[in-house]
């Protein structure tokens, strides 16, 4: 392979902005030339081509695995020729899903939505790269390098001493150092294949507690396959808010739409990128960023955010365990007791899904809802207001999994959801490893349709 030209330096040609030409040859020597919808970077030695139709190209490749690709740089119009050899076809898995999402954006951009259907991702080894002589434009002005932004962000995250501080610092770094103004962080639910929003930035509402199932939209696919999913053009089928609502409306959960938290997000994003956050083999979260600008997130941005998330995952894991420790820090002063003369806040709890309603308005469900209900029960029966995270971790009423319970993330979510609602009920810090239940008025607990004793 040419020592100067390499795939890493030509990745802008592999974004699908311009179609690539593919030349194959039949066993009798008859050539065939066609355009391919998607030519995708896999690694420094491999590319993937979209397999959509059973045609002459497919027939030739199966008989003679050698082919030639002609691709063009969308900025300079410089052309490059790749000599490639077919290896295999993948019809499922991370690479297939990445290509499927990318192809959906290309189809929408070219007016072919509903026509393009990916059958498989054909993997080829690149044997040689050569520049094709011809006129080209000067390269565009280089944008600010991402490595300094990555370094500053890593340094900032390394100094965080709590999970909440880590989450807030991540959002600040993405905006300050990378210029990303629309972003979300979704934690993985260890009890079921769903993610829930714990933090967001750039939207009218935070959406804290809103859920996205695995496999739905860019975020859900990134979680299920544990691979980055990036789209640089609008793709309606990957607009997660619309996809989730259509899934609910068409299924058995249609009657529960009122018991859900609206998803934040741009109505029709032009660029989307979802990056899984892992600690070892465990999925911790998914970082999602979006923009109204087409081609806002390129390969380099994807690389930078993948590297950032590679540090974020282990930090999350470590800080969640540290959050259980009570180091004897003096308690934060408590708020005044609730106004006994105020009308009680009706809190209704449904055990089947852990959903909580405040004065008949939906608040949250799942483990976070069960946590709030347990705190309120102990407050009503035992007069308690302060609790340690360690005792909550061991509380059998919450039925937390033995490992990977994300308790601290759920408490952060619950606290932010209550703040979003401006409820007369708050979850506050009371020192390291401790929380406090703060009430502005009395509460009336109702289990399902029956008022609790």
Domains plus CATH for the chain? Answer: 7-132 (2.30.110.10), 146-322 (3.30.450.40), 345-451 (1.10.10.10)
Work out the angle at residue 442's Cα, subtended by the Cα atoms of residues 439 and 443, and round it to the nearest 5 degrees.
95
pLDDT of residue 32: 95
The pLDDT of residue 435: 92
Supply 171's token pair: 């959002």
Reduce the DSSP state of residue 202 to 3 states and report it: coil
Give the SS3 label for residue 314: helix
Q: Which stretches of 52-204 are assigned E, i.e. beta strand?
A: 66-72, 79-90, 120-132, 183-188, 194-201
Contact 199, 208 (CB under 8 A): yes
Say if residues 216 and 247 touch (Cβ distance below 8 Å).
yes
**pLDDT given for residue 188 in this prediction:** 95
φ and ψ at 279, to 5 degrees? Answer: -125, 100
Both structure tokens of 440:
């502005």
CA-CA distance, 170 to 312, in Å (whole number)?
9
The sheet carrying 229-231 orders its strands as 211-213, 194-201, 183-188, 282-291, 271-279, 229-231
pLDDT recorded at residue 298: 93
Instruction: Report in angstroms the alpha-carbon separations of 361 from 53, 259, 260, 356, 367.
Output: 51, 9, 10, 8, 18
Please name the helix (run of DSSP H) or strand (run of DSSP E) that holds residue 213, with its range, or none: strand 211-213
The gap between the terminal CA atoms of the chain, to the nearest Å, is: 77
Please provide the size of the chain in residues.
Answer: 453
- At 44, list the tokens: 């420094």
The tokens for 85 are 């050899």
Phi first, then psi, for residue 301 (nearest 5°) are -65, -40
Distance CA 397, CA 376 (A): 13
pLDDT by position in tens, the chain (length 453) = 444 789 999 999 998 888 899 999 999 999 999 988 789 999 999 999 988 876 899 999 999 999 999 999 999 999 999 999 999 999 999 999 999 888 776 555 444 445 567 889 999 999 999 999 999 999 888 888 999 999 999 999 999 999 999 999 999 999 999 999 999 999 999 888 999 999 999 999 999 999 999 988 889 999 999 999 998 877 655 554 454 455 545 554 444 444 578 889 898 899 999 999 999 999 999 999 999 998 899 999 999 999 999 999 999 999 987 655 554 454 555 555 666 678 899 999 999 889 999 998 999 998 899 999 999 999 999 999 999 998 998 888 887 876 656 889 999 999 999 999 888 899 998 888 899 999 988 999 999 755 554
Neighbour tally for 214: CB within 10 Å: 19
Instruction: Pick the closest to residue 399 from 426, 429, 433, 374 (CA basis).
Output: 374
366 Ramachandran zone, left/alpha/beta (phi>0; psi -120 to 50)? left
Burial class (CB in 10 A: 0-12, 13-18, 19+), 402: exposed
Please, are residues 207 and 261 in contact by the beta-carbon 8 Å criterion? yes
The continuous run of DSSP H or E covering 33 comes out as strand 31-36
Token pair in block for residue 386: 């302060």
Helix axes 163-178, 299-322, angle to 10 degrees: 160
**Contacts for 15 with CB less than 8 Å, ≥ 6 apart:** 74, 232, 295, 298, 299
Helix-helix angle 407-421:299-322, to 10 degrees: 100
* Residue owning tokens 């609502």: 245
176's CB contacts (< 8 A; 6+ apart) are none
| 326 touches 431 (CB < 8 A) | yes
CB-count exposure of residue 204 (10 Å: 0-12, 13-18, 19+): exposed
**pLDDT of the residue at 261:** 84
């Amino acid at each position: 392979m040419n020592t100067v030209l390499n795939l890493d330096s030509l990745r802008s040609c592999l974004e699908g902005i311009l179609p690539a030409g593919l030349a194959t040859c039949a066993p009798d020597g008859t050539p065939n030339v066609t355009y391919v919808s998607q030519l995708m970077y896999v690694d420094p030695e491999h590319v993937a081509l979209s397999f959509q139709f059973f045609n002459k190209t497919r027939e030739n490749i199966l008989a003679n695995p050698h082919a030639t690709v002609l691709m063009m740089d969308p900025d300079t119009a410089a052309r490059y020729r790749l000599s490639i050899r077919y290896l295999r076809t993948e019809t499922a898995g991370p690479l297939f899903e990445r290509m499927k999402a990318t192809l959906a954006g290309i189809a929408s951009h070219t007016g072919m939505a509903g026509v393009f259907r990916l059958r498989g991702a054909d993997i080829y080894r690149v044997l040689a790269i050569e520049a094709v002589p011809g006129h080209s434009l000067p390269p565009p002005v280089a944008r600010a390098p991402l490595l300094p932004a990555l370094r500053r962000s890593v340094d900032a995250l390394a100094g965080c001493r709590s999970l909440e501080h880590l989450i807030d610092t991540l959002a600040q770094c993405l905006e300050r150092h990378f210029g990303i103004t629309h972003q979300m962080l979704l934690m993985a639910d260890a009890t079921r294949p769903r993610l829930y929003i714990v933090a967001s930035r750039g939207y009218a509402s935070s959406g804290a507690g809103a859920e996205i199932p695995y496999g739905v939209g860019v975020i859900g696919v990134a979680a299920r396959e544990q691979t980055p999913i990036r789209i640089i053009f609008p793709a309606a089928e990957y607009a997660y808010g619309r996809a989730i609502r259509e899934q609910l409306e068409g299924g058995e959960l249609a009657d529960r739409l009122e018991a859900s938290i609206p998803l934040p997000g741009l109505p029709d994003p032009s660029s989307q990128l979802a990056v899984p956050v892992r600690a070892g083999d465990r999925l911790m979260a998914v970082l999602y960023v979006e923009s109204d600008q087409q081609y806002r997130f390129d390969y380099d941005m994807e690389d930078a955010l993948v590297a950032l998330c590679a540090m974020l995952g282990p930090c999350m894991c470590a800080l969640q365990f540290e959050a259980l420790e009570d180091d004897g820090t003096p308690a934060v002063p408590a708020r005044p007791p609730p106004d006994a003369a105020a009308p009680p806040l009706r809190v209704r709890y449904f055990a089947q899904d852990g959903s909580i309603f405040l004065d008949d308005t939906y608040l949250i469900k799942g483990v976070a809802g069960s946590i709030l209900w347990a705190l309120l029960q102990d407050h009503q029966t035992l007069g308690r207001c302060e609790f340690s995270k360690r005792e909550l971790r061991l509380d059998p009423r919450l039925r937390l999994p033995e490992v990977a319970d994300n308790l601290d993330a759920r408490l952060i979510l619950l606290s932010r959801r209550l703040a979003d609602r401006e409820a007369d009920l708050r979850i506050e810090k009371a020192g390291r490893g401790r929380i406090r239940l703060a009430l502005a008025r009395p509460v009336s607990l109702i289990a399902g349709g029956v008022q609790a004793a």
